[in-house]
Structure 1
Amino acid sequence: MTIHHFKGFGGVRLEADISGDENDPAILLVHGAGQTRAVWGTVAEGLVQAGRRVVSLDLRGHGGSEWPEGGRYDLAAHVEDLRAVLAQLGSRPVVVAATFGGWIASIALSVDGSNLAAGLVLVDMPVRSDPQVAKDIGERLRKVGTKVSDWDNRALDGVDLDAVSAQLLDAGPSLKLPTLVIRGGISWVRQAEGTKEFDKSLPDAEVFEVADADLLVMTDRTEALLAHLLDFLERKQPRTANEFRAGSDARTLRDAMGCFATGITVVTALGDDGAPIGLTANSFTSVSLDPPLLLVCIAKTSGTAHRLREAEHFAVNMLQTSQQPTSNRFAGKGQDRFAATAWHSGETGVPLLDGSLGSFECKRHAVHQGGDHFILIGEVVRAQYEPRRDPLLYFRGKYRRLHFA
């Protein structure tokens, strides 16, 4: 086990234990208010033994993490801390968060969550907090080993409990990543107002209620928690690699290819009638600098494939982060793609999309057959780009953006 420091929101130092092989799938553990990362001890050990790399984090004002001088413990600060930690990790972990940590994780991952994490597990998370029950939980946790001196008392006063429920219900529909909800079958958490509404709002969730867990699954039924957690991980984040062999499911091959992150382009040209045509493509690469050649792969089933194959000139428009709607528009059917897209004619007459990261105007150099696609090679006659913009990326079937630690 090693101790690692992350830089949180506002420069606050956050401390974590890291255990397990660095090549194993990652798990990020987030404790609740009035706890420290030590509360995850048994769970973390079980996860490591099951072949997982575990990062167990102390929240600001808790355990080994810094206690901010200004006493800023509002929920927004915790949310930005978690997003900062996720951006600094080398891979997307499954986030396992308990009680108050679940509030933080739910809100943090409701924006671009699939870019930051591979999954979410919410343990004992109430949707609405009862102050008396929160007090009882705090006393219970102190009995199992957490000391008041391990956390800043101001941390419990920094969150507006009345506003949390609405924030969680807003966040639920946006948690578009595999989610597991675990709570006690007879606990107040299960009975709390808004619980069923929150569960139903989750797009991709499994809900388990652990029998005989009165107050907290995390402390009352640790082994049951670990069993459900490992089952979820083996199905959603398996340790063994998927395999494709010739003649097997083509979807597996597509998923394997999807592990290579790419940019996204829109290939444009003029049709026989002089009207603009175009489609979205991410199979694009440089071929040669002398002569200046590039290629794109076009599906033969595309409605504009035959016109792109015959066009004397075409353009490749590289998309930037705000052009996700453009990518969807040119990948879909049944609409006038150019009517809703700002564009202008390039020097060769081909359509260039306004606001793109860059564009390449090409004359047709060669066309080669490639199975269900054809390979269109173009000689670049003019290129332009905007270095201050960031690319729109595609990885594992989803749009992505660059993240800078």
Structure 2
Amino acid sequence: MSLRYVREFKGFAGIRLEADDIGSADDPSIVLLHGFGQTRKVWEDVAIGLEQAGRHVINVDLRGHGGSEWPSDGRYDFTAYVEDLRAVLGQMRTRPVVVAASHSAWIATMALAEDAATLASGLIFVDPPADHDAQAVRAEADRMSAALGQGLNHADYDNAIFAAFDTHGAGDALSEAAAHIGLPSLIIRGALGQVDPDAAQPAFVDSLPNVEAIDVDGGGLLIVAERAEAFNGVLIDFLERKQPRFIPEYRSGSDARTLRDAMGCFATGVTIITAHAPDGRPVGLTANSFTSVSLDPPLLLVCIANASGSAEVLRGIDDFAVNVLQIGQQPVSNLFAGKSEDRFAGTRWEVGEYGAPILPSSLGIFECKRHALHEAGDHFILVGRVEKASFEPRRDPLLYFRGKYRRLHFT
């Protein structure tokens, strides 16, 4: 039995966006975006095929189209559409693959330009148009509307869209934005009825760093409607290769990388552990294995790799500090995670009240006395008794998740 209901999202400036929510939310998610002159009805057969292939589908009507709100202020500019998509992605419980048809490819590109990895897990364009002229945008939308054959007419979208949608300078902006999107990407072309399909290839898609392109023969004007079965085959093949449904598993004795990836699912803060060597040199390293242990007595712990350059010194110290990093300290984190001999040379630091070096720009600083040390495989656990703690409440933490730095997402 198909799981399906109409779902509402809050878009830019609070506008109501309507979508079909199809399938189990526990399956990998797909967001479908139609082009101008269409509604989400155009994806109906594709959405059913994706659900049957074990995918969770969010099929969205753009503002001014179908069941979504037609804004009374006439906000149909490019920015409004981009922020609508960012808002939808921000309300998803997982990072979906975004499938964008026609002009929505432009919207998706700009929406994902800055922080694609935190909003989506893949990007698929269907017949992205190359011509950014305002008249061409409307002409193509009219052709799409006429080709649907599903009862769609001008009553299904607001004609004010085309006068308000600003396309001046879009080509250069899209190319620059695409260059920053490292997600697995696919371009599916059905020629849009062009005599020469290659002439319809927009320049900005060539800027995507991780992109494939596939032509579906005989796609005619609207590939998702006229060659739905062939289209779904291409789409699902890409999804299974790049975003497989199976859950990776680690079992004792198998690939350690899988275990590491599983451990990386636990989002952490980032710290730098600092101390003085016996000869007075400041030493330090980046670590994200850090936790509070006890409030009475006040204890914390850090896990340090035996192979790290500072391990020998940290095994023998009596005083050390844990510096919890804020979002502006990513370069410092990288410096102390590398193999630089003098990590403190270009870093602002000072001697703390209890003798250990501290990084005063940090989000939080814990000055500790050694309490205990425990061997733990290829790491050792250093337990410290907190003598002094200070923090800056106006800063935000530098986070680490699945091998990448992250920031807090505020809702």
Alignment TM-score, normalising by the size of structure 1: 0.94
Corresponding residue of 1:57: 60
Equivalence map 1:298-377=2 (5 Å): 298-334=304-340, 336-377=342-383
RMSD, aligned α-carbons:
2.0
Q: Which range is displaced more, 130-139 or 119-128?
A: 130-139
Number of the residue aligned with 2:237: 231
Aligned with residue 100 of structure 2, among 97, 100, 108: 97
> How many angstroms apart in 2 are the aligned matches of 1:32 and 1:250?
44
1:23: Cα distance to partner? Answer: 1.2
Q: How does 1:1-400 map to 2 (within 5 A)?
A: 1-129=4-132, 131-132=135-136, 135-144=139-148, 145=150, 146-184=152-190, 188=194, 190-192=197-199, 195=202, 197-334=203-340, 336-400=342-406
> 8 Å contact 1:36–1:59 — kept in the other structure?
yes
Give deviations 1:363-390, integer Å, cap 9, x for gaps: 1111111111111111111111122322
Could you list the runs of 5+ residues in structure 2 that have no partner in the other structure? Answer: none
For the 8 Å contact 1:36–1:150, the answer to whether it is kept is yes
Name whichever of 258-267 and 320-329 sits farther off: 320-329
Alpha-carbon distance between aligned partners in 1 of 2:314 and 2:358, rounded to the nearest angstrom? 15
Q: Give the partner amino acid of 1:297.
A: C
Structure 2 length normalisation: TM-score?
0.93
For residue 329 of structure 1, what is the amino acid of its counterpart?
A: L
Q: Could you say what secondary structure the match of 1:296 adopts?
A: strand
Query: Which residues of structure 1 form unaligned runs of 5+?
Result: none
Work out the CA distance in 1 between the residues paired with 2:361 and 2:224: 50
Which is worse superposed, 384-393 or 61-70? 384-393
Q: What per-residue deviation string (whole Å, max 9, x for no partner) do you get for residues 163-221 of structure 1?
A: 211111001111022212211258549534773x5344222222212223243432332
- 1:129 deviates by 3.2
**2:36·2:141 contact (CA, 8 Å) conserved in 1?**
no
- Supply the AA of the counterpart residue of 1:351: P
Measure, in 2, the Cα distance between the counterparts of 1:90 and 1:369.
38
Range with bigger deviation, 236-245 or 126-135:
126-135
Q: Does structure 2 conserve the Cα–Cα contact (< 8 Å) formed by 1:126 and 1:190?
A: no
Distance 1:185 1:249, change over 3 A: farther
Q: Which amino acid aligns with 1:254?
A: R
State the AA in 2 paired with 1:142. A
Count of aligned pairs: 404
Q: 1:368 to 1:128 in 2, by over 3 A?
A: farther
Contact 1:127/1:168 (CA < 8 Å) preserved in 2?
Answer: no
For residues 128 and 340 of structure 1, the distance between their equivalents in structure 2, rounded to whole angstroms, comes to 49
Aligned equivalents of 1:171, 1:318: Cα separation in 2: 32
Give the aligned residue type for 1:191. D
